[in-house]
Amino acid sequence: MHPPPGTITVTGFPPTISLGSEAERVGLSVADQVTLRDADLRKWMAETVMPAFRLANGLTLAVVAVLLVLDEIEIWFRVITPAERIITSQVIMALLGATTVQVGAIAYLIARYLFPSRRP
């Protein structure tokens, strides 16, 4: 006599369950499930992290643009001298340096994705 479908039969104590057999029982191999999970993480990265990255950089550039306009207005109305600017060459160099680091980090992440290291 066989148990009805969907019934769990324990043949030993503690019961031994193989991850591979359970995954195949539901229709996907372990490798397929890992691949699907990996795809979910990439989708999350593309839909959440990258727009946040773009938003943060866009807001930074907008604030710098506003400060630059304020500098020019204050210089035009002689409120400050050109030496008292908020946006100086040091600010521009810091922005260029930060942009270089960000581009390098993105290039590194893309290279790691395209050429993953071998696991033992």
> Is 119 inside a domain boundary?
no
Give the pLDDT of residue 73.
95
What confidence tens digit (pLDDT) does each residue in 54-84 have? 888 888 889 889 999 999 999 999 999 999 9
* For the chain, percent of residues with pLDDT exceeding 90: 20
Position 107 pLDDT exceeds 90: no
Give the pLDDT of residue 106.
81
> Is 79 inside a domain boundary?
yes
> Is 14 inside a domain boundary?
no
Position 51 pLDDT exceeds 70: yes
Give the pLDDT of residue 49.
73
Q: Residue 103, by phi and psi: left (phi above 0), alpha (psi -120 to 50) or beta? A: alpha
Q: Into how many domains does the chain fold?
A: 1
The pTM assigned to this predicted structure is 0.56
Cα–Cα distance measured from residue 61 to residue 68, given in angstroms and rounded to the nearest whole number: 10
Residues 75, 80, 83, 84, CA torsion sign: negative
> Is 15 inside a domain boundary?
no
Helical residues (DSSP H) of the chain, grouped into ranges: 19-25, 30-44, 50-76, 89-114
> Is 1 inside a domain boundary?
no
Give the pLDDT of residue 54.
83
> Is 12 inside a domain boundary?
no
Quote the domain boundaries for residue 41.
Answer: 20-114
Give the pLDDT of residue 8.
56
> Is 90 inside a domain boundary?
yes
> Is 96 inside a domain boundary?
yes
In 3D, which of 23, 45, 21 has the Cα closest to residue 32?
A: 23
